[in-house]
Amino acid sequence: MRKKVDFLVIGSGIAGLSYALKVAEHGTVCLVTKTRAKETATRYAQGGIATVMYTPDTYEKHIHDTMVAGDYLSNEKIVRITITESTERVKELIAWGAEFDKEKSGKYDLAKEGGHSEKRILHYKDQTGEEIEQTLLERVTSHPNIEILENHFAIDIITQHHLGKEVTRRTKEIQCYGAYVLNLQNNTILTILARTTLLSTGGAGNVYGITTNPEIATGDGVAMVYRAKGRVRDMEFFQFHPTALYHPAERPAFLITEALRGFGGLLKNRQGVEFMYKYDKRGSLAPRDVVARAIDNEMKISGDDCVYLDCRHLDKIQLVNHFPNIYAKCLSIGININNEMIPVNPAAHYMCGGISVDEWGRSSIRNLYASGECAATGLHGANRLASNSLLESLVFSHRASIDAAKQLATTALCEEIPDWNDEGTVLNEEMILITQSMKELQAVMTSYVGIVRSNLRLNRALKRLEIIYHETEDLYQKSVITQQICELRNLINIGYLIIKAALERKESIGLHYSIDYPRTRANEFEVADHPL
């Protein structure tokens, strides 16, 4: 089966949907998504979307906070573009119908999160993502130029490699002609030929044992680009959210938003003693990398599996009004947050690295754009500032849509692309091989490539990953394609890229903390005697 479109979009989160809406004004759009369209990380976003709305906040303050959180590794030009264009993009989202909480005065009720020097997080209770996803999806679904293919899994992007030409990492002009996509309802592989393609496939939290990310977050876009010999960067910087609900029976881990700490929640140990000031003068609201490492250290000292978030001193009615979802979730497992501390521990949350793109969302592969969590624009540097990612998706999907629309007139479809060849493959009847390898991969990454790293642990991880890699490649070559084997293969690739980048970085900076390299860059706000 073949399909021809002007714009192919892979992914139905904020990045894919907001881009699709814009390019649909210039041509036909096919948007593929591997499960139901609404099942995205976007939908689970709690805290909100950071943007400068009122004085005394300024773009300069937001830029500064972003640079500090990123340990000054962010690209300042990209930070400026993102922050100064964000208010306009957020207003556009509001014009599309997204609602955010307001004060009685009619002004937006702005929240504060770790690392922000001002209140600037627009939110819809603690369900901001659901509100955004629903608003965008309604618009996209009713747009006459957009076709949505749910339950369609993108396997690989198509390049000249599929025309039998040699493509290496040194090839100058790699071109993207669309993607091979597995229809999960009838197990056939569709060849989608597109003039331009956007990858908006989200994150890869499932490479770790504990994650806040939904099942769809398996790093597919990044792995596709790496396989196609495109550029990927900053993969060593994987953000762990400090406060996921400690409830081991559940995957993904339920997030306890940082906004709850912004609202006054305090991190304490089992004895009810606050510990964050030992580590940073910003206490429970220090940036995530600092808080996650502090919690990791406290858990190592105490031997406990979690620490606690204490909200018992807060106004009970306001607490429930602001965080109804968290209140209900905790109550469902027997914790009344008005009277009891919430058990929390860190969980893999956000992939700062990804497909390397420029200020127009252009990847190193011609006619291939990337936006959202799968892309690395240079905004986050060594650590993402809380609630800066929904914003980044809006800004760069907008920019990519402008560039892609411009390219349309001069880009032709490549009709010679052959269909997918699966000759000689057989049905893999041993799913256990895949599920077991996935568990091994997650265990290796959690044990050796987590919050605190060392060269010894990273090299151990690499050796173990090589075994899983070879076993999986062998199985992949012989098996009829399934989503499960592709996702395992993609996550192994993500694990490899994280370890490789971590071994190459010979310093501790931002989210990459190695005991082999004492910190070399002083973060100007950190206390001098920071013990980590």
Residues acting as catalytic residues:
288
Shortest Å, Cβ 129 to ligand SIN: 9
Q: Which stretch binds ligand FAD (CB under 6 A): 44-52, 67-75, 260-268, 398-406?
A: 44-52
What does the per-residue mask of binding to ligand FAD show for 356-375, with x meaning CB under 6 A?
----------------xxx-
Closest CB to ligand FAD among residues 11, 381 = 11
332: Cβ–Cβ under 8 A, 6 or more apart, which residues? Answer: none
Residue 129 binds which entry of ligand FAD, ligand SIN, none, CB below 5-8 Å type-dependent: ligand FAD
What does the per-residue mask of binding to ligand FAD show for 7-36, with x meaning CB under 6 A?
---xxxxxxx---------------xxxx-
Instruction: Give exposure, 193-226, as e/b (b: 16+ Cβ within 10 Å).
Output: bbbbbbbbbbbbbbbbbbbbbbebbbbbbbbbbb
Closest CB to ligand FAD among residues 12, 196 = 12
Shortest Å, Cβ 188 to ligand SIN: 37
Check: CB of residue 64 under 8 Å from CB of residue 57: no
Radius of gyration of the CA atoms of the chain, in A? 22
Q: Is 482 in the site for ligand FAD (CB under 6 A)?
A: no
CA dihedral 297, 301, 303, 309 (to 10 degrees): -60
Residue 258 binds which entry of ligand SIN, ligand FAD, none, CB below 5-8 Å type-dependent: ligand SIN
Shortest Å, Cβ 302 to ligand FAD: 26
Residue from 24, 29, 48, 494 touching ligand FAD (CB under 6 A): that is 48
Shortest Å, Cβ 202 to ligand FAD: 3
Closest CB to ligand SIN among residues 198, 386 = 386
In whole angstroms, give the CA distance from residue 220 to residue 207. Answer: 11
Tell me which amino acid residue 82 is: T
Closest CB to ligand SIN among residues 194, 351 = 351
Residue from 390, 417, 441, 451 touching ligand FAD (CB under 6 A): that is 390
In whole angstroms, give the CA distance from residue 475 to residue 24. Answer: 40
Q: What number of other Cβ atoms are within 10 A of residue 407's Cβ? A: 14
Residue 178 binds which entry of ligand FAD, ligand SIN, none, CB below 5-8 Å type-dependent: none
Check: CB of residue 361 under 8 Å from CB of residue 214: no
Handedness of CA 393, 399, 402, 404 (dihedral sign): negative
CA dihedral 395, 498, 492, 362 (to 10 degrees): 30
Cα angle at 329 between 450 and 295, to 5 degrees? 30
- The SS3 call for residue 158 is strand
Closest CA to 269 of 300, 314, 248, 299: 299
Q: Which residues bind ligand SIN (CB under 6 A)?
A: 46-47, 257-259, 350, 386-387, 389
Shortest Å, Cβ 260 to ligand SIN: 8
Residue 202 binds which entry of ligand FAD, ligand SIN, none, CB below 5-8 Å type-dependent: ligand FAD
Q: What number of other Cβ atoms are within 10 A of residue 149's Cβ? A: 19
Question: Between the CA of residue 57 and those of 60, 65, 116, 183, what are the distances in Å?
Answer: 8, 11, 10, 48
Number of residues that bind ligand FAD (CB under 6 A): 43
Chain residues 229-268 in contact with ligand FAD, contact rule CB under 6 A: 255
Closest CB to ligand FAD among residues 376, 461 = 376
Shortest Å, Cβ 372 to ligand FAD: 2
Chain residues 125-144 in contact with ligand FAD, contact rule CB under 6 A: 128-129
CA dihedral 83, 73, 257, 312 (to 10 degrees): -110
Residues that bind ligand FAD (CB under 6 A): 10-16, 32-35, 40-42, 44-49, 128-129, 153-154, 200-203, 212-213, 216-217, 220, 255, 350, 372-374, 387-390, 393
